Amino acid sequence: MTNCEEKMTRSDRCAELIAKIETRTARIGVIGLGYVGLPLALTFAKKGFSVLGFDTDQEKCGHIASGRTYIRHIPLEPVKELIADKSFEATSDFSRLTEADCILICVPTPLTDKRVPDLSALINTAETIARFLRKGQLVVLESTTYPETTEEELLSRFASNTMQPGIDFFLAFSPEREDPGNKDFSVTSIPKIVGGITPACREAADTLYSAITRTVPVSSARVAEFAKILENTFRSVNIALVNELKILAHRMDIDIFEVIEAAATKPFGFMPFYPGPGLGGHCIPIDPFYLTWKAKEYGFATRFIELAGEINTLMPDYVVTKTADALNRMGRCVSNSTILVLGVAYKKDVDDDRESPAYPIMKKLMDQGAAVSYNDPWIPRLRPTRKYDFTMASVPLNEQTLASADAVLILANHSDYDIQFIIRHARLVIDTRNATAGMKTDTCTIVPA
């Protein structure tokens, strides 16, 4: 290190980093190349930055090196082009973090079985960064977590007598807002909330994200962390509300989807949410409980979050009960019945099965003696998850498969599904997604669930 570098002031380091970002000479490092990290890395590369992706999964790095994508809704051609012109590279060698000017953390933050935040991946990442952190670098946490995490878990590991935030390095939180498979919104069209540990940290992070989208600077990392939790808690609570009302509507023989569509015609004061077989994805079923856990530290009970979680968690049981009741009316019981599940992805048209309600539904049906198979054009084979390990492959969706099933459960309404074909050849359809709305059949019994 030169004497000139040692004498750099806080404003000098910040100005130098901002200049690198504005001239696209800053190199971006993205840790975690999953559903959040890979699109983010590709976006920065497309905007003219040199991007270095990091992942502990060497298979992912190998796919990228070969110009292949392992996430189906991400197009293949951009990956090939960015690899070819050396704008994007992936590695499992974390010592190369020193090459990055800006390091973005996109690692999983799941819950344990007891609904306690599991920050092991984040803490391991923070400790790795701390070993290679150099002066002038910006580190931004994107993984969703409880307020104060950036300070408690990252700042505590990065700051030292020789490395001070806002002076020697820059630390911020900017929550990911990915919606896998949503063609209407992408990284470049979704505003980025940015909160820094210091004003200089916020300025550096704001400059970085301004290069790819509109930013929303806030006063602190805590505010940014809380904002993301609020977004997902809002969805969780409202989905729980319509799930509960769905059960009531079924008992009253009222179509809850028709009710929601009618209410949604009000041009103010109402936002439509839709019921389903349970919550899925890495955000909505998990993130609100990060706040619940943190709130206990302040002696506060988050009752709305707990109640919403209770309702949403019970929805798979409701689907199983509706299936059993429907089979009973057909003169069969769940035990020894053949049940075909359509869609194990947590929502339509994605290959993302994280926290999918299909898994507890399948497990509960199997526990009651059912022979369960599945079809999902997006997920040809089930992969082990934190809770489940089904050794299954997707079966063909044809006339014979449908006709041989005692019940067909629609859990994800993929665009690939020809619903009219399904009800033409199935005997009993349990519809959790309103996929059969308005369709007529003389041969198939359709049960909303």
Can you read off the two tokens belonging to residue 137? Answer: 């670098």
Residues 6+ apart with CB under 8 A from 175: 142, 144, 193, 224, 225, 227, 228
Can you read off the two tokens belonging to residue 362? Answer: 């399948």
Classified as helix, coil or strand, 244 is: helix
User: Which amino acid is residue 201, in one-letter code?
Assistant: C
Neighbours of 186 (CB within 10 A): 14
Please give the Cα distance from 155 to 389 (Å, whole number).
37
Can you read off the two tokens belonging to residue 294? Answer: 């943190």
Helices (H), 154-220: 156-158, 199-210
User: Which amino acid is residue 327, in one-letter code?
Assistant: L
- What element of type H or E holds 322? helix 303-329
Contact present, 158 and 169 (Cβ < 8 Å): yes
Please give the Cα distance from 101 to 137 (Å, whole number).
5
Please give the Cα distance from 161 to 33 (Å, whole number).
33
- Residue 279 phi, psi (nearest 5): -85, 150
Residues making up the chain, counted from first to last: 449
Classified as helix, coil or strand, 236 is: helix
61 carries an active-site annotation: no
Classified as helix, coil or strand, 180 is: coil
- Residue 164 phi, psi (nearest 5): -115, 140
Please give the Cα distance from 420 to 408 (Å, whole number).
13
Q: Catalytic residue among 14, 201, 283, 444, which?
A: 283
Residue positions annotated with a catalytic role: 283
